[in-house]
Amino acid sequence: MTMAAAARFLLRGAVSKASIANVNVGAQSSFGITLLSLSPKCSSKTKTQRRNAAHFTYHPDPVPTEYGPTTKMNLFQSVTSALDNTLASDPTAVIFGEDVAFGGVFRCTVGLRDKYGKDRVFNTPLCEQGIVGFGIGAAVAGATAIAEIQFADYIYPAFDQIVNEAAKYRYRSGNLFDCGNLTIRAPWGCVGHGSLYHSQSPEAFFAHCPGIKVVIPRGPVQCKGLLLSCIADQNPCIFFEPKILYRAAVEQVPTEAYTIPLSQAEVIQEGSDVTLVAWGTQIHVLMEVANMAQEKLGVSCELIDLQTILPWDTETVCKSVAKTGRLLISHEAPITGGFAAEISSTVQEECFLNLEAPIARVCGYDTPFPHIFEPFYIPDKWKCFDAIKKLISY
């Protein structure tokens, strides 16, 4: 076990003990006892099975034919392939972060240090601010810097470096200098048992910051193409990878390098009655919802994967809403101040006369991400399906 992993394991244990202790204090004590008494016959095996059950079914994309030969990869292998292509083609490229020399917590960099050397793929101290600060300096000096934050939940210590330094470097120097060669990767979103410190979706924090790009893929094919686009882009990019899909998502992915344009949403399924907008894991939830709506309600849904959160593709979304007259946006992050609010506001301004019903948002709640109550927190297909019924009957 590495130092970083061990430290976080100890922190998680401390937090868990503190949480258990809090349940036994004051008014919370009776509440905790009530919860425990609700299901006295539940075995630990049953609880484990429920916790590990995914709230979605993964829908692989068709095999791409325009990028050459393909091979079967899951999402973390597609990340490895993109990084491998970059290191092979760009002698200035370096990859760094906590544990990346050993392959990383999710194995995204496995084998790269042995292939390209410890000077190009290397570990850093457990200091997110230092990781991003180093990345900014390396990018300014001319390197292609690819930094990994071990979990998106721990990106906050680097917030000042990202928002006040990386995003503004070009502007404050009058374009004399920039750190556009910086890409920051981070595992993102819920994983089924991550609780409050390993399940967050912080994209909305960075969507308020001009000067950076924020990208979230839905599967291995998009992951590799969008990551290579971020690395090639002349602006600092944050690339959030849905960690629950690292192994659950498997597709035929091109082995050679290819790019997918940033800031272009993709219409995955065309429809006429309701527009559904999401990104990352939630795309697969809404795919099931669209099928349910067609089968049970006879409702035709148009599904859009936003892909790039900042700058986002307003044209594709508004064009769809002008056609359908109804919009549902869904994401795992809390609803207040979530990026769904920005989409909703823009669509209301641009498509007001086309709307047949109020815009619906199905998102996480305004609480920390829970542990045992995760199934109640997640914006699952049933919540989204209920929202579609309300949109249609409005």
Cα 154 to Cα 198: distance, rounded to the nearest angstrom:
9
Q: Are 295 and 244 in contact (CB under 8 A)?
A: no
Angle at 382 (CA atoms; ends 377, 386), nearest 5 degrees: 110
Cα 88 to Cα 345: distance, rounded to the nearest angstrom:
44
Tokens 């595992």, located at residue? 187
Cα 220 to Cα 225: distance, rounded to the nearest angstrom:
9
CA max distance for the chain: 68
User: Which H or E run contains 373?
Assistant: none
Q: Are 96 and 144 in contact (CB under 8 A)?
A: no
For residue 213, the SS3 value is strand
Q: Are 251 and 220 in contact (CB under 8 A)?
A: yes
Give catalytic residues, as residue numbers: 128, 198
Q: Which residues contact 6 (CB under 8 A, 6 or more apart)?
A: none
Please name the residue ranges forming H helices in 90-238: 112-116, 128-140, 159-160, 169-172, 203-207, 220-232
